[in-house]
């Protein structure tokens, strides 16, 4: 900061000394503002819930649908439909293949059912197991992500063979 004051006076000995050959150092300084953010808690809000009960009468029309189902029988190609109950055959095969392993039929039942369901699916009819296995493996993995295809493949194949007439 430079402070200037108007003066009108005679030169003094002190003024003459100031004009002698000498170096005067002036240090220039400046200030810069520093801005920063600080997170502060300025308010706390507590929200409560109040439970109430009320009775209300609602008048509206409802729909009711009845569905009749039929079990599928033998088709023209000699294949038995997926509606046929092969549970006793599946349980017998389970006992033969897996019974000694200590597992239970409930673990394998979905694999047997899957095999018979896809064998009756029109997309796969007339195709061999070898042709459809890669597709079934992928589909089985999506449907049953907690199950292993390699462990269940033979049960799926048994269900397939049962419906396609190979067993």
> What are the tens digits of pLDDT across the range 113-148?
999 999 999 998 889 999 999 999 999 999 999 889
> How confident is the model over 28-35, as a mean pLDDT?
83
Q: What is the mean pLDDT of the chain?
A: 82
- Give tens-digit pLDDT for 103-113: 889 899 999 99
The DSSP code for 20 is: S
Cα-flanking dihedrals φ and ψ of residue 17, to 5°? -65, -35
Which carries the bigger pLDDT value, residue 13 or residue 62? Answer: 13
Which residue has 């294949």 as its token pair? 79
The yes-or-no verdict on residue 39 having pLDDT over 70 is yes
Between these two residues, 20 and 163, which has the higher pLDDT value?
Answer: 163
Q: Cα separation of 111 and 144, whole Å?
A: 9
CA 71 to chain CA centroid, Å, is 38
């Amino acid at each position: 900061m430079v402070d200037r004051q108007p003066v009108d006076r005679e030169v003094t000995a002190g003024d003459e000394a100031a004009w002698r050959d000498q170096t005067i150092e002036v240090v220039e300084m400046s200030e810069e503002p520093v801005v920063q953010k600080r997170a502060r808690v300025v308010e706390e809000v507590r929200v409560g819930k109040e439970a109430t009960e009320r009775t209300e009468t609602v008048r509206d029309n409802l729909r009711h649908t009845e569905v009749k189902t039929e079990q599928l029988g033998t088709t023209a190609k000699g294949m038995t439909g997926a509606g046929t109950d092969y549970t006793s055959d599946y349980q017998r095969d389970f006992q033969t293949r897996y019974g000694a392993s200590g597992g239970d039929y409930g673990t394998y039942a979905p694999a047997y059912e899957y095999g018979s369901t896809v064998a009756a699916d029109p997309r796969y009819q007339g195709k061999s197991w070898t042709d459809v296995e890669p597709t079934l493996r992928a589909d089985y993995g999506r449907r049953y992500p907690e199950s292993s295809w390699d462990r269940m493949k033979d049960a799926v194949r048994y269900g397939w063979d049962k419906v396609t007439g190979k067993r």
